[in-house]
Amino acid sequence: MFARWLYYFFVTLSALGLIGVLLAGFAGLVIYSNLPSLDTLTDYRPKIPLRIYSEEGQIIGEFGAERRNVVSISEVPEHLKQAILAAEDDRFYEHGGVDYLGVLRAAYSNFSAGSVRQGASTITMQVARNFFLTREKTLTRKLSEALLAFKIEHSLSKDKILELYVNQIYLGHRSYGFAAAAHTYFGKSLQEINIVEAAMLAGLPKAPSSYNPISNPKRAKSRQLYVLGRLHKLNYISSNELSELEKQPVPVKKQSTAFAMRAEYVAEMVRQVIYDRYQEETYDKGIKVYTTLRQLDQEAAYQALRKNVIDYDRRRGYRGPEAYIDLMKYGGNQEKILDDALDEINDSDDIYAAVVIAAKPNAVQAYKKGGEVIEITGDGLKFAQKFLAEKKDPGKKYITPGALIRVQKNQKNVWHIVQLPEIEAALVSIDPNDGAIRALIGGFDFYKNQFNHVTQAWRQPGSSFKPFIYSAALEKGFTPATIINDAPLSFSATQTGSQLWEPKNFDGKFEGPMRMRTALTKSKNLVSIRILQAIGIQYAQDYITRFGFDASRHPPYLPMALGSGSVTPMQMAAGYAVFANGGFRIAPYFIKKIEDEKGNIIEQFQPVSVTHGAKRVIDPRNAFIMTSMMQDVVNQGTAAKARQLGRSDLAGKTGTTSNFIDAWFCGFQKDLVTIAWTGYDEPKSLGNNETGGRVALPIWMDYMGPVLKGVAMAEYKPPNGVVAARINSATGFRETGGDMTEYFLSEQLPPLNESPVEHTPKVTRDLQDQLF
């Protein structure tokens, strides 16, 4: 009886098993017949972000939901392949899509641990899941994954499957694929990473958010050591190599600083242009945009602006800690408090946020993002010394435990307390011959303030606008030798457009009659006003539109002579380019060409240039004489500091507005026009004597110096119709033995011993009278 029942039991069990197998087979056939086509794999078209490059082909920006660099399997270093296989699927080249030994090993491991600690997904199964399936944990999804893996293995080679995996897998921080991750975490190409970096990347697929070295450096290191151990177990590395590799640190370089240069403002300008044309395709079709930026120029501009803005800020003194952190918020878990506090605070390049954990008058300890505790002593405290006093005044912010401060290492690698500047600045540099933008910095820190001051900031140009008024005067018949009185004036509200006005010179002095050249060199306000009176305000307002200025932003009142209208730095660059290129109007541009993901040119920009289609807007003789006058501004005027560059081919004009609110220097060499501006976003005084020559000119110099290093000295040759003659510098009269040489239009050359203005057909006696 027992044997009979045992027989029935096994028969029933076998029948049920057979039915189960048949049902599973039927389910498999149903699922297999409904599996998706592998066209997505055989015609792989991943989402590739918009990438932006400098003129030399260096990447300067990237936009897209998925950061990805597609590579072929032949481009993947052997040590990275080994690390991936060691971490994810060491029998990849042996199984047929599902690793049955791996399944048994995982089952045993999980049973021994009493929990699910090890998976059995092969690389092929992960490819199936990433391309076609959801991540839901159901039996149907798992069966579909296995069947898809069989189908993939039947259709594609092992190397092709591994290539798809290397390019598609998500590895944290918007990075898809190992090439993108190498760039994100280490600032390197895939071919440049070493074994320890490869091991860290290979450890990411298991849990990208938990094991990436930016968010969780400790867990990332732990996972990396596991991968190195697997490499050793599989005999890819020796015991000695393992010991050495485990000790090596892995320097992580965030992607935001891994671009070839800091050009975030230009990258954003490009993004806006491309999005207007291609809408959402902008971010996933692999569009490549090549700009006109040059690496040397952009790097020099960035360094020049940052250095001089910080120098200005130090002159104004330390303002105290930015905020205070409650160090007892979570009881004794101070590290969590500090990490949470710093998590949402951005560093500014090499200026880091830190929280003070101990403070004495002679030493400060601070916790920096990433867990580093630094100590600041000696010279590093000088800038903030008053805020470390032992006796504290009520209501004043002091550096105490919990204070949020900024720190920076100097050239000697010593930590200093610093602060983020409140002032803003901008620099733009263009080729005056065709308008190609060579460098553009729209502000101190793009991540702090995305407002692009080069293109969006409408500011008063101050005296840097005078050259356009002087150019109009030359057109009206004035010459650089014309004598104009530097004497007091007073105007009613109807003449100024606002209120009673008694303009003053910057230095507060009136020097009487002087030549127009001298007046520009010394930036004499009263002379500029008399010139505008003489040539006519309406004429001047119309004339400045030749340079690209909007007449409506320069109301027809006398203060226009002193730059009371509104301009952007980009407009000033285009305006000064007219002088530099001999009289032609060009339009600044920053995109050279647009390519698709395969490198096919979609658009090639053909700029209007001096030699190809640019419109002449002023007489070349006018441009030459104005350039000569602005060279004097550099050689002996308000920008004489620029002589330190040791060049004779520089010209330009300083600009400082009323109450020192805006500071400018606009200048050029024959083939490069550069504009530097500084000011507060909410307009307020920069401080007494913080002029264009003191605040903006140093930025311009620190940029032009390295950019023009090794560039041959340019010559400004008088065009036809310009003659040189000796004059008396005091009277402006032409004299055979005069003490200086002056340039004149040939039809305006005065007879000997007579003033040029008396023989200028365009200037009437009434106009001459207004000059005095």
- Among all residues, which ones are annotated catalytic? 88, 463
Task: Label the pairing between strands 50-53 and 288-291.
Answer: parallel
Q: Are 241 and 199 in contact (CB under 8 A)?
A: no
Tokens of 66: 């998925």
What's at 699, amino acid-wise? I
Output the CA angle 679-683-689, nearest 5 degrees. 55
Instruction: Please classify residue 10 by burial: count the beta carbons closer than 10 Å to its beta carbon, then call 0-12 exposed, 13-18 middle and 19+ buried.
Output: exposed
Residue 577's CB: how many other CB atoms inside 10 A? 27
Q: Which residue has the tokens 């641990």?
A: 113
Q: Which of 389, 305, 133 is nearest to 702 (CA)?
A: 305
How many DSSP H helices and E strands does the chain contain? Answer: 24, 24
Token pair, residue 305, equals 């602006």
Cα 396 to Cα 320: distance, rounded to the nearest angstrom: 9
Q: Where do we find the tokens 């069989």?
A: 150
Q: Which string of DSSP letters, residue by residue, matches 671-722?
A: TEEEEEEEE-SS-----TT--IIIIIHHHHHHHHHHHHTTPPPP--PPPTTE
Q: Which two tokens stand for residue 660?
A: 């020192």
Tally of residues, the chain: 772
**DSSP annotation string for 579-641:** HHTTSEE---B-EEEEE-TTS-EEEE----BTTBBPEE-S-HHHHHHHHHHHHHHHHHSTTGG
d(CA 586, CA 574): 7
H or E element: which one contains 429?
A: strand 424-430
Comparing C-alpha atoms, which of 583, 651, 585, 586 is closest to residue 620?
583
Q: What distance in Å separates the CA atoms of residue 61 and residue 274, rounded to the nearest whole number?
A: 13
CA atoms of 321 and 725, how far apart (whole Å): 62
**H or E stretch including 745?**
strand 740-745
